[in-house]
Chains A and B, each alone.
Chain A
Amino acid sequence: MALRLLKYAFDRDYAEPRWFNTPATLRDQYDVVIIGAGGHGLAAAYYLARHHGITRVAVLDKGYLGGGNTGRNTTIVRSNYLTPEGVNFYDRSVKLFEGLAHELDTNLFYTKRGHFTLAHNESTLRTARWRAEVNKHYGIDSRLVDASEVKRACPEIDLECGGQHAILGALYHGPGAIVRHDAVAWGYARAASRLGVEIFQQTEVTAVALTHNRVCAVETTRGRITTGKVLSAVAGATPTTLKMVGLPSPVEIVPLQACVTEPMKPWLNTIIVSGSLHVYVSQSARGELVMGASVDPAELHSTRSSLEFVTSLSDQMLDLFPFLAGVKINRQWAGMADMTPDFAPVMGRTAVEGFYLDAGWGTWGFKATPVCGETMAFTVAHDTNHRLLDAFGMERFERMTMLGEKGAAAVGH
């Protein structure tokens, strides 16, 4: 590292190679157009090229790479869900994440921390036990632990929570990890780019053209592209792309906010989540506490963060960790989350031929980045839903076969 830096300092001609190249102009035709250069879109592009040999792929983004919810989440990866469909899906994602730094040749700072979902009352404890049993059944390391084990893993925690919400126990999930979210997007971008995928930032899709209920082209702010396949991977803007192809939206947009403290020496080794207190927290490699809460109370298409959020979150954090009273909040922000009625995603083929959806990622999307890329690439390449997506189709709202993932997806990220 030091040598590399010295070389960079003394060599006038030396330049760090760009992570991905953007051609000057869009081609007239691509086999697949992916809307959204976030983790999901870029991962899909990478797996399309890597697994299916489809390299005439354009990834378009109206903003910058990873500037949406990929760069706004709290970077937690876990698979301790409640429904079998959810557990299998997220478990595949965790497994892909574990080998991803090697595969993408990018340091993702993937660190397995262990993940505690605290129970402050009997009913949360019951759900925790239920989740632990479902997880164990599918071979995932989750178990119910008592308060003393929480204290051993995190001695700084106040088990009484200020006397208001004493911690009774927790759902412990061994594979719970954190990973640098920007690096995931950039790693996929570089790997996809090396295989021939073209990435265009500041290129907004304004319309999707259909003939006989089939995708034939997309209109962008930089011209028209002929294509037979479009993948929408635009968390926070899904209703807009659905409207372009005339489909109604099962997704509503609700802001989700997060913040970080000033950096501290490492003290928090685990990931702590409390559904009752509406907080989740981990400590990043930089030493900042990365904290988030539940979604805002109503639909809103805005990424403005609020004082109410940061004051109420700090209040709850101080119940868990009173010694943080003097620590300052450094940054706060918001992302627009695609909320579905059952807290599960909406994925796969749609009623429009050639229009594929990777949406409904609410507050649980980042951890699914690799598996979404893998399964959506399969779905787009074969025009058949990947088997892991069977339960996630939009038609479940027609058939009333919802998934009921709220107990595991809400707050606990």
Chain B
Amino acid sequence: MKQFNCPHLGLRPASEFVCAGTAIGSLLQEDSERVRHGVYFGDATARIKREWWFHRAAHLWFLIERDTATDHVIEITLASRLGDADGV
């Protein structure tokens, strides 16, 4: 079974988490073109990327860095603030 070795929750089944998509930085500003490009377009080849993952039971958001070619998890960080994904 696929598991995440989370520094905060320990070794948990991946099925307890929900992937909420690629972390693309804050898009709260009114630059609609940047929003469109950030949301709908990007490099989607096999790569190392950061994603938002939500742990349902703990009700916590995480930023997970993962290799999309191998599914290897590189780093799991707790997202304490909404702005954490800025600049990724």
B-binding residues in A (CB < 8 A): 239-240, 243, 248-253, 297-302, 306-308, 341, 397-398, 400
Cβ-defined partner of B41 (8 Å) among A240, A248, A298: A248
Closest to A399 in B: B36
Task: Tell me the bound Cα distance from A277 to B29 in angstroms.
Answer: 39
Q: Which chain A residue lies CB-closest to B42? A: A248
List B29-85 residues whose CB lies under 8 Å from chain A: 36-37, 39-46, 49, 51, 66, 68-71
Are B51 and A397 within 8 A (Cβ)? no
* B15 interfacial by beta-carbon distance below 8 Å: yes
| 7 pairs of A and B residues whose beta carbons are closest in the complex | A248-B41, A239-B44, A397-B40, A301-B46, A298-B19, A249-B44, A239-B45
Measured in the bound complex, the distance between the Cα atoms of B44 and A397 in whole Å is 16
Interface pair A306/B69, CB less than 8 Å apart: no
* Bound Cα distance A307, B37 (Å): 36
Cross-chain contact B71 with A302 (CB below 8 angstroms): yes
Q: Which residues of B contact A306 (CB under 8 A)?
A: 2
CB-CB nearest in chain B for A341: B40
Q: Tell me whether B42 and A307 are in contact (CB under 8 A).
A: no
Within the complex, the shortest CB–CB distance from B34 to chain A, in Å, comes to 12
Do A253 and B69 touch across chains, with their CB atoms under 8 A apart?
A: no
B18 contacts chain A at the CB level, 8 A cutoff: yes
Please, which residue of chain B has its CB at the minimum distance from the CB of A340? B40
Given contacts A249-B42, A249-B44, A302-B70, 11 further A-B contacts (CB under 8 A): A239-B44, A240-B45, A250-B40, A252-B44, A297-B15, A298-B51, A301-B45, A308-B1, A341-B39, A397-B40, A400-B36
Of A239, A250, A252, A298, chain B has the most CB atoms within 10 Å of the CB of A298
Given contacts A248-B43, A249-B43, contact A307 B36 (CB under 8 A): no
Is A308 a contact of B44 with CB atoms below 8 Å? no
Report B48 CB to chain A, min CB distance, Å.
12
Q: How large is the interface on B (under 10, 10 to 19, 20 to 34, 35 or more residues)?
A: 20 to 34
The listed residue (B15, B39, B42, B51) touching A308 by CB distance below 8 A is B15
Whole-angstrom CA separation of A386 from B69 in the bound complex: 35
Closest to A242 in B: B44
List B contacts of A243 (CB < 8 A).
43, 45
Are A299 and B1 CB-contacts (below 8 A) given A248-B37, A398-B36? no
Identify the closest chain B residue to A308 (Cβ).
B1
B22 to nearest A CB, angstroms? 8
> Could you jot down 25 A-B contacts, CB within 8 Å?
A239-B43, A239-B45, A243-B43, A243-B45, A248-B37, A248-B43, A249-B41, A250-B41, A253-B46, A297-B14, A297-B15, A297-B19, A298-B19, A298-B51, A299-B22, A299-B44, A299-B49, A299-B51, A302-B69, A302-B70, A306-B2, A307-B1, A308-B15, A341-B40, A397-B40
Cα–Cα, bound, A229→B19 (Å): 38
* Separation of A300 and B44 alpha carbons in the complex (Å): 10
Distance in Å: Cβ of A168 to nearest Cβ of chain B: 27
Of chain A, the residue at the smallest CB distance from B71 is A300
Q: How far is the CA of A261 from the CA of B1 in the complex (A)?
A: 22
The closest CB in chain A to the CB of B70 belongs to: A302
Q: In the complex, A298 Cα to B19 Cα: how many Å?
A: 6
CB distance from B23 to the nearest CB of A (A): 12
Most chain A beta-carbon contacts within 10 A, residue among B1, B41, B49, B66:
B41
Q: With the chains together, A249 CA to B41 CA distance in Å?
A: 5
Give complex CA distance A301, B70 in Å: 8
